[in-house]
Amino acid sequence: MLHDQESARPDAEEPEQKTVLVVDDDVNIGIVIVELIHQETSHKALHHTTGNQAIQAFSAAPAHLFILDYQLPDMSGLELHDQLHKLDHLRNVPTLLISALQPSPQELRKRAITFLAKPFDMTKLLQIISTLLG
């Protein structure tokens, strides 16, 4: 009996779709980041404008990367990072902090947070996302 070798092979694997949580109170920036991720990667991105919204939305949902604004209306991006990382299923999710104001390098290192200054280059943002999602 002859077997068709081509049909026995699975098609090339599609990249795994991961979820990126974007939290920025500037709706325009949030939309641009979400659209960039949707158009340029295979990943899903969700945008929230406050830390509390993000915590509620992801208290039981998975995420693979956090992109957080440093200055949110209800808490800092560092505080949000800490709150999200208290949840067992989000404990090891990498964080990219974006802001025109940079927090202390010690605070970033202590939390293993990557920082990108606003305004940022979209190509650089995509490179960092790719690196952090591995």
Q: pTM to 2 decimals?
A: 0.88
Weakest mean pLDDT among 10-14, 45-49, 104-108? 10-14
pLDDT at 88 over 60: yes
DSSP string, 33-62: HHHHHHHHSS-EEEEESSHHHHHHHHSSS-
Separation CA 49–CA 17 (nearest Å):
23
For the record, the structure tokens of 66 come out as 């956090």
User: Which domains are present in the chain?
Assistant: 17-133 (3.40.50.2300)
pLDDT of residue 4: 38
Phi, psi dihedral angles at 85 (to 5 degrees):
-75, -10
pLDDT of residue 3: 37
Separation CA 23–CA 73 (nearest Å):
11
Going by C-alpha positions, the residue among 134, 103, 100, 95 that lies closest to residue 120 is 100
Average pLDDT, the chain: 90
Separation CA 79–CA 55 (nearest Å):
11
pLDDT digits (tens, 9 = 90+) for 3-34: 333 334 344 455 689 999 999 999 999 999 99
pLDDT of residue 9: 38
pLDDT digits (tens, 9 = 90+) for 113-126: 999 999 999 999 99
pLDDT of residue 16: 80
pLDDT at 95 over 80: yes
pLDDT of residue 108: 97
pLDDT at 111 over 50: yes
Question: Which amino acid would we find at residue 113?
Answer: I
pLDDT at 72 over 60: yes
Phi, psi dihedral angles at 118 (to 5 degrees):
-85, 145
Residue with tokens 């010690």: 106
Q: Where are the beta strands (DSSP E) in the chain?
A: 19-23, 44-48, 65-69, 95-99, 114-117
